[in-house]
Every structure is written in C-alpha cells, then in structure tokens.
Amino acid sequence: MKHLLPWIVFALLLLMLPWLFPSVLGISILNEMAIAIVFALSYNMLLGQGGMLSFGHAVYFGLGGFMAAHALLGMELGGPIFSVTLIPLVAGGFGLLAAVLIGSFSTRRAGTAFAMISLGVGELLAALALILVSFFGGEAGISGDRSLGPAFLGADFAQDSQVYALAAVWTFVSTLAMYLFTQTPAGRMANAVRDNPERAAFLGYNVQRVRLLSFIVSGFFAGVAGGLFALHYEILTAQNLSTTTSGNVLLMSYIGGVGFFTGPMIGAVVLTLINSVLSHYTELWLLYLGLSFVLTVMFLPQGLTGLLMMHRTPWRRGRLRSLLRPYLLTGIPATLCLFSVFALLEMLHQGSGSVMFFGLALNTEQPWAWLGALLLAIAAAYGWRRSLPSLREAWRSASQEDAP
C-alpha cells in the first residue's frame, strides 16, 4: 500500500488539474507538461539510470512525432484509418526502430564517446531533415488532422481537453512502465553498468547489450512523447528533432535532478511553466533559464529534487522548524541580490528609455537607477555571504544524527 500511494496521488493530480485550470491556455500548458514529462523521463533512462549523456535525444522524439504526423496525414489522404488513441504507439514503435538502428553502434561506449556520437547523429538528422523533403516536409513541416479517426468513448479529439485526457492516460501508463523498468533486472543492471562497467563485464554481463536495452526502451518512450506532441500541435517541423530540442530535454532533466526517478518530472513541469509563463513577462527569460541551469550544475548537482530530498533527515527528526530562521536570513538578501541583478540585466537589455520591472519604472537614462540597482546588488550580496556560515551551522545541527 505504501508504494502505491505516490501513484494514486499522481493519478489524482492528473485527474484534478484540468478542473483547476480549465482555461484554453491552462489545458494547453497541461498538455505540454504531459509531453515534457514523458520525454524527460525517457531521457533520464539514459543519463540518470544508464550514465549515457546524450545530445541527440530529440532524434527519437522527432522521428516518432513525424511518423505520427504522417499517420494523421494518411487518414486524410485515404490511408489506414484507426483510432488516434493508438498514435503514440505508432510513434513509439518508430522511435524504437530508430533506437535499435542507432543504438546498435552508439552504445558500445559510454561517457564522452557516446555523447559525441549522439551529437553527431543528432546534427546529421537535423541536417538531413532539411534535405529529405518528402518525409520531413521541409520548411513547412508535416501537419495532420487529429479528429479524423473513429471516435473513442464518444470523443473525436477535436478539443484540447480531449487530447489532455488521452495524454494523461498515456503519461500515467508510460511513467508507470518506465518506473517498473527501473525495478527489473535489466533496469538494475543499467545502474550497475553506469557505476562500474568493468565490474559488470567481469560478472559476465554484456555491457553493450545492457546499454542497448535501456537505449531502445528510452527511444520507444521518446517516440511516445513525440506522438503526443503530434496529437497536441498537429504539426511537426525540423525544429522538433534539432539539437535545440535535445538540449532542452537535458536542461529539464538536469534542473529537475537526474539522480531521482521523479527529478525529470519536476524539471519538466518547472521548465514548461517557465517556458509559457515567464516568457510573457520578460524577453530575457531564456537568459534567466541559462543562468539558472549553469548555477544548478555548479551548486545543485542533484537538481531541485535533490534540494527537496536533502530535507528528509531534518524532517524525520522534527528539526525542520529550526531551519526557518537561517533560511529567511539567507533568503532575503539572496532574493534582493537577484532582484537587483535582474533589474540591471533588464536595463542593460533595454538600452535606452525606461523599463517596467515588477511595477517599478526604471529609467535607463537616469544614472541613479543604475547606481541604486548596483549598490543594492553589492550590499545584498555582502549580506548573503555573511549569512552563509550560520546557515551552514544550522543545517549541520539539524541534519546530524543524535549521539546514541
């Protein structure tokens, strides 16, 4: 019962969210989240669980998506007609096929060599996508109509909310399947090969075959995500299998935390929110995203999930309350510092004229605006630094085990 609880919560969340955010935009963001969750989880099968850093995971996402778009287009042009609930399966199958082909040579080694091959394959496909027009559709891409298949339980999937229901079911099933994979001997061996390939080889395991199996399963679920993407947007372009998309999924997984199964899910949710909400408020959102990614790699190698999980010990010992004061003492100057740095960046970006920043009109022509922001940034940074030792001390005493 205990390990069923997270799944029940997850299912309830998937069920409740469309009632909480019923607007067109809300449903659309939820769909994007579902797609991102499946994609990021499939990516973490490689990076987190298999130790394979890929710079070309969008290949399987994109190829699956294109296949799904062709299947949708085929219904329009007199091809086989089937329920669109099965589209992700078609896409996943194609992603799996691509993963079998490419994985057969790319999984021979992990580490830098694997990363390089994945980058090469990714760039190769991205360049080919612009040449092979009949499959990838060139500049215009491939678009299809998702409402042409036979109705399923009375839904024809013309509406975004119906697509959400479909995406939610597929997301739940895929997440469950990927979690169960980590519990199988193959999933366990993937971890072993990640941590010590030589030892695994000495135990008699074929290291490449272990990696290949993870790679293929990962390719399948990346394809499923691509299929959901095709259903949601009804169009695929070469952009979807470019290295930008591959980089994006790396960002999601890393910011969420690659060491945890739930990490990429949290990363996917956070990044989708940033993507669709923050971009309304500032033109510099990609800069902030890059900044937070670099800072995450430097100071939070375990990602956001790692940050949350760190608090398990203090929580178990009932010491979480003792952390509140040091957190506030550090958090206030840190927030002020970031606030003023962002103000400086926004002013720098604006160049001339005034810029609205949290309801504050900053005039870039006025030297005091620059000076004020700069002084505040320096003062807050000083306060931030001064507060760190006491935070460290409080953290140590809260998470230390009591002497028996």
Partner 1 sequence: MIDVLIFATLNGLVTGLLLFLLASGLTLIFSMMGVLNFAHASFYMLGAYCAFSIGQYTGFWPALILAPVLVGGFGALVERYGLRHVHKSGHVAELVFTFGLAFLIEQAVQSFWGADTKNYQPPALLDFPLFTLFGQDFPAYKAFMLLVSIGIFIGLYWGLTRTRTGMIIQAATSHPQTVANLGHNLPLIHTLVFGAGSALAALAGVLAGPVLTTFPGMAATLGSIVFVIVVIGGLGSLTGALVASLLIGLLQSWAIAVDVGMADLLHWVGVEFPPDHPLKDIWRLSLPQLAPVLPYLLLVLMLIFHPSGLFGKREG
CB contact set of 217 (below 8 Å; sequence gap of 6+):
45, 178, 181
Residue 133 engages partner 1 in binding (rule: CB under 8 A): yes
How many distinct helices (H) and strands (E) make up the chain? 18, 4
Kindly tell me which residue out of 22, 290, 331, 353 binds partner 1, with binding defined by CB under 8 A: 290
CA distances (Å), 252 to each of 61, 66, 151, 171, 296, in order? Answer: 15, 22, 34, 17, 11
Structure tokens at 241: 């299998």
Residue 281 engages partner 1 in binding (rule: CB under 8 A): no
Identify which of residues 25 and 101 has a Cβ nearer to partner 1 in the complex: 101
214-253 residues in contact with partner 1 (CB under 8 A) are 243, 247, 250-251
Range in contact with partner 1 (rule: CB under 8 A) among 72-80, 121-129, 161-169, 370-378? 121-129
Range in contact with partner 1 (rule: CB under 8 A) among 27-35, 76-84, 285-293, 305-313? 285-293
299-318 residues in contact with partner 1 (CB under 8 A) are 301
Residue 170's nearest CA partner among 38, 272, 287, 75 is 38
> How many angstroms separate the CA atoms of 384 and 404, rounded?
35
Identify which of residues 16 and 113 has a Cβ nearer to partner 1 in the complex: 113
Contact 142, 69 (CB under 8 A): yes
CB of 316 to partner 1, least distance (A): 27
Structure tokens at 363: 């005039």
> How many angstroms separate the CA atoms of 297 and 311, rounded?
20
Residue 59 engages partner 1 in binding (rule: CB under 8 A): no
Identify which of residues 67 and 289 has a Cβ nearer to partner 1 in the complex: 289
CB of 344 to partner 1, least distance (A): 11
Residue with tokens 């993937």: 190
CB of 315 to partner 1, least distance (A): 26
Identify which of residues 15 and 297 has a Cβ nearer to partner 1 in the complex: 297
CB contact set of 354 (below 8 Å; sequence gap of 6+):
361, 362, 363, 364, 365
> How many angstroms separate the CA atoms of 43 and 301, rounded?
17
Identify which of residues 10 and 285 has a Cβ nearer to partner 1 in the complex: 285
Q: How many CA atoms lie within 13 A of 76 on its CB side?
A: 13
Residue with tokens 């949350």: 308
Binding mask of the shown chain, residues 89 to 118, with x at each position contacting partner 1 by CB under 8 A: ----------------x---x-xxx-xxx-
Residue 132 engages partner 1 in binding (rule: CB under 8 A): yes
Identify which of residues 137 and 149 has a Cβ nearer to partner 1 in the complex: 137
CB of 302 to partner 1, least distance (A): 10
Contact 57, 243 (CB under 8 A): no
Residue 298 engages partner 1 in binding (rule: CB under 8 A): yes
Question: Given the rule CB under 8 A, which residues bind partner 1?
Answer: 47, 51, 53, 55, 105, 109, 111-113, 115-117, 119-121, 123-124, 127-128, 131-135, 243, 247, 250-251, 254, 283-284, 286-287, 289-291, 293-294, 297-298, 301, 345, 348-349
